[in-house]
Amino acid sequence: MIPYGEQKIIFINKKTQILGRFIEELRDSSEIEKRLDLVISAHTFEHAEDLFDQFKMLIGLATVKKGFMSFLELLRLAHEQLVQLDEPCYGFGAAQMLPVLTHHMGSDLGFLKALIDDNGERIGKCLPGIDCFIVAPS
């Protein structure tokens, strides 16, 4: 067990390390010496070694590739179902991440009648690469 206040760094490889530290100790992100790529919140470090072993398995390149391929397949299936709808289709929420999703979906969302968003500054506009306008909820 890591004593309260002590931190432990585990090096997985030259580019990847895991910093274990009690969350109660970190009151502000400025207390972290360098930018972290991934933050996991855990309630205890009682079994820290087991946790670190799990991380080693989770962050392998094969796991990332498998997850990304699954993500692409789910987008493909969603697109396939949406374009087959025999009724008007609307999108809800013109989030800034939507162009990235549509890029990976391989679609400009031209099958949508409109994107509905409650942000008044976006009404009547389009997002990059998306072929439908943003409208207000009515």
For residue 51, give its domain range: 8-58
Are the C-beta atoms of residues 31 and 23 closer than 8 Å to each other?
no
Q: Is residue 94 part of a domain?
A: yes
Q: Which two tokens stand for residue 8?
A: 């432990």
| Gap between the Cα atoms of 77 and 88, Å rounded | 19
Buried b (16+ CB within 10 A) or exposed e, 23-47: eeeeeeeeeeeeeeeeeeeeeebee
Answer whether residue 128 is part of any domain.
Answer: yes
Amino acid at 90: Y
Task: Report the amino acid identity of residue 29.
Answer: S
Query: Are residues 12 and 49 part of one domain?
Result: yes
Each residue's pLDDT, cut to its tens digit, for the chain (138 residues) gives: 444 445 555 555 555 555 554 444 444 555 556 665 555 555 555 566 666 666 666 667 777 788 899 999 999 999 999 999 989 999 999 888 899 999 999 999 999 999 999 999 999 999 999 999 999 998
This prediction has a pTM of: 0.53
